[in-house]
Amino acid sequence: AQSVTQPDIHITVSEGASLELRCNYSYGATPYLFWYVQSPGQGLQLLLKYFSGDTLVQGIKGFEAEFKRSQSSFNLRKPSVHWSDAAEYFCAVGAWTGGFKTIFGAGTRLFVKA
Amino acid sequence: SQTIHQWPATLVQPVGSPLSLECTVEGTSNPNLYWYRQAAGRGLQLLFYSVGIGQISSEVPQNLSASRPQDRQFILSSKKLLLSDSGFYLCAWDQDQDEKLFFGSGTQLSVL
């Protein structure tokens, strides 16, 4: 069965500092991998998606993620965090199993210090 | 362009009362539709998905039901709410062959 683990419930970084949010997945083959962002009281917005090709994926808002098959990881990074990046970030795994199903991790809440 | 509407944004209901949350999608046809629930401090749990009118799949046994009376309308219901039904409910859609989800703005349901 597919599963997604985000080991950090919350992370605090200073504005301008670099960011890395961890994500590990469990799946028999290479799944589709996603990062979504959720601002308070809002729905989720897709940051980036990976399925095949270059293992370093560029997304919106200056985010990128790197797929590492050997570690079953898909960590999200940003070189310089802005205060507006404070939000909840969800890693997700998806696969075609009689329709496309997406399984989400528990999320990591990002706090940004001025 | 496609848009997804979800209402109401906030709802406070007493235990034992009925529930009806509505979601509609515009600008596309035959979307796949989903209901997720996000409990406080937890991730998203897939409740229901639908690949077509009248076709509903339930992911977890619970006090809720879903219906799809029209192609772009997805309704989440309950006959009698429980305290444990409180949470943030999100409707989402995607299109066949396109794996990314588009989410509504959510409904915060508080059952008291």
Please provide the DSSP assignment of A23-68 as one string: -EEE-SS--EEEEEEE-TTS-EEEEEEESSS-SEEE-GGG-EEEEE
Stretch B65-85: mean pLDDT: 95
What pLDDT, on the 0 to 100 scale, is given for residue A97?
A: 75
CA of B44 vs chain A CAs: smallest distance (Å): 6
Stretch A22-35: mean pLDDT: 89
Chain A residue numbers with beta carbons less than 8 Å from the beta carbon of B6 are 43
Q: Write the residue in B43, B57, B96 that is nearest to A105 by C-beta.
A: B43
Stretch A11-15: mean pLDDT: 96
Q: Quick check: B44 contacting A, CB < 8 Å? A: yes
- Going by C-alpha positions, the residue among A60, A79, A6, A48 that lies closest to residue B42 is A6
Q: Do A106 and B99 touch (CB under 8 A)?
A: no
Percentage of residues in chain A with pLDDT exceeding 90? Answer: 75
Q: Cα dihedral sign for B8, A40, B105, B22?
A: negative
**B74 band by pLDDT with thresholds 50, 70 and 90:** very high
Q: Quick check: B40 contacting A, CB < 8 Å? A: no
The two three-digit tokens of residue A5, written as one number:
């683990």
What pLDDT, on the 0 to 100 scale, is given for residue B41?
A: 65
Does residue A101 carry a pLDDT above 90?
Answer: no
